Structure 1
Amino acid sequence: MARSLKSAELVIIGDELVSGAVPDVNVAYLTSKLLAIGLSVSRVTITGDEPLTLEQVLFEALDRSALVISSGGLGPTSDDRTRTVAASVFGRTLSLDKKLLERIRKRYEKMGRKLSELGESQALVPQGAKLLVNPVGAAPGIILSDNRRTLILLPGVPSEVKAVTDPGLLEYIQKNYMLNIRHTLIIRTSGKPETDIEERLTPFLNLNKDLKISYLPKFGMVDLRIEASAKTKLNSALRQIKKILGADIYAVGERSLAEVAGELLCKRKSTLAVAESCTAGMLASTIVDAAGSSRYFLGGVVSYSNEAKEAFLDVPHALISKHGAVSSEVALAMAEGVRRRFGSTYGLSITGVAGPAGGTRDKPVGLVYIGLSAPGKTKVIRTMFPSYRNLIRARSVTVALDMLRRILVMTQKAF
């Protein structure tokens, strides 16, 4: 009989995470997936690989929670000890799963590698455990249960966590537990800060106390995560929020800004080329992250030096001498130059001072110009990002893609 369950704990394992050498990305993914099926996360613990410490962490988590999900420590190296510690916590022994071993061996053979003794350790499974298929890696997920608690071990590699979680882990949880399902919706916005979005939505939310909303800002975009007890309430909220935020909403769901801009280009049978200075290819990389980008993206030029701007984008030397490389005039010339060179419908450009050095009183670090060229039409945006180098570059990419998106959805009055 399925048991009622409101929350679970996460234990993220790895010395590299505790030391800060590698950033964790699994918590955000797992939390969002669990929330989507009605299961909240009550606590997250990040711990190292040392067996005694890990054992204590797992004991304490299982004392607090009926369901604990761990990530990490299932690999083939000597510091991957999670399966051994987990077996000890449940008083189980490890045994070799011959079918799993054969699957792992075949996987290694496909990669042209010989399975070592350490590699074979990935086929050691605690007595009585169930397995979750890992279609992209060697180590499967492992489920250990007794009468009152369950521990689910996941790999640590993010791509493997995703592959084991959806659908395997999620289906197991939904089958074995009664969950408090709340309907959720993601609304994605760009072009306005979190404070502006919240201020505009506050009157509406004050009249709809049964809605729960979370604001998730990132690189100049803000995701709204909305929860409601009924789908009809969620649909009604979406209609109202669309009226309030209008064109600042770029997607409902989890499509990226680059995907949305790409879809709009495809619908208009248009193409795009980009010219980048301070972002050094980040804009082009973000664009091609979207599947199918070859249908509309022709290419780009990273013109970091003034000489490159002149040679590959036909920016006049006199224009750079008069206004400087970081200027609205040069941004526009870059956009027009790349559009002309590639024969694209649209040309998009970024030039700025990303820092930490290179800023002046007139052109401080964080100053960025973004240009757009289309047949018979041009536009330049001046922005200031008081932040550090990589964030300036990332936010510049967001503004550029948002500028393109708005141009594509608006009428000619936008110009």
Structure 2
Amino acid sequence: MTTEGDFALAPVRDFLARLPPFQDLPGEDLEQAVTALLVSYHRRGERFEAASDEQGLRILRSGAVDIRDGDHELLDRLGEGESFDLDAGPDGATATVIEDCLLYLLPVGDWRELRNRHRDFDRFFSRQRDRRLRRAARYQPAANSLLRKLHTVMSTDLVTVAAQDPVQVVAQRMAARRVSSALVCTDQRLLGIVTDRDLRTRVVARGQPSTTPVTQIMSPAPLTIGPTASLFDATLMMTRHGLHHLPVVDDERLLGIVTTSDLMLAREDDPVYLVQHISRQPDVASIRARVMAVPALMASWIEAGMRAPQVGHILTAISDAVTRRLIALAEAELGPAPAPWCWLAFGSQARGEQLPGADQDNGIVIDDSLAAGDEVWFQALASRVSDGLDSCGYPYCKGAVMATTDQWRQPLAVWRDTVRRWCATPTRMR
């Protein structure tokens, strides 16, 4: 680690001295660990693998990392002050940066020396390793089919065409293979997608010649999803965006495609069925009637094998759907917004970790073009949405962290000043 004397090391030493088990090391051994540390910064999405990355103990100074086993199942989620060593197993484990990270790396030689010299220090990391191995051993695939990974169900028998191909050739290939879409690619990189509907509405209906290049009628840069996402994730995305075809891509490389036929709903207790129907309800009472079924449905999901993080993800998707529908109903009643705006979700909903009985935490960001007197529209919107959430089982926040409170309903410029103030003068409340 490059430093400028002992002064530069002092914050690192103070940080390490607060962490178990480093806090129990003698002063000289703590000093040895501090001077051996290597510092690195990593962006969201970067991944560490035991076979290809430098060995040693990585300590999170800031940010967050997910530890997953060889089947991509989550074993641990680490934050500031926590550490990991992929070489300690389980086999195939990887670490993925989910929030930009500043990491301290204690090289493997220095780390092993400290473990050999201090029994309690060694026990701490042995217990950490055993805990993750037990989690990996306990995992059993969920019975609910919507939790299956996309790479197990996606179609890989794709019709791919080149950018210069005429639409007639594309249509002929689709007809010969009896498929409803073709993917426009260059070197396995997805440029666009063409569907039966595109051929009908953009070629036949407009009288376009059969020699028209496919790039002129394709949908460019389509939405995509990763292979380790679940059927549930895919169905939510397709429902929200009105899609019938969803390409599966990994690191910009086309792997397969998921269609609506892959996502047919067999039972009304599927969570996506609930989300879809919430989005179609005509009033608050109808939404409430749908949401009241959630506790019983949640019991069936757990019995079917869902794990706690997956249940939290589903409950968050439901609360998102309720919020969106309440906003749509309020806008239909109030008319167009007088300025661009955005609804904010805070707390467990923002983290995707909603639980039954969670209260509402929300706010509104309004464009700085807001004219005098137009604030009334946003006050009315906030009241209707927050009242609706309360009626649907998401009680008012006891701390008044809601869009109905002036502090949490502000123009963008005010929000920026507020966040700067939070960062400059943090308190126990934030």
TM-score range, shorter chain: under 0.3
- Which structure carries more strand by proportion? 1
TM-score normalised by the chain length of structure 1: 0.23
TM-score normalised by the chain length of structure 2: 0.22
Higher RCO (Cα < 8 Å, 6 or more apart):
1
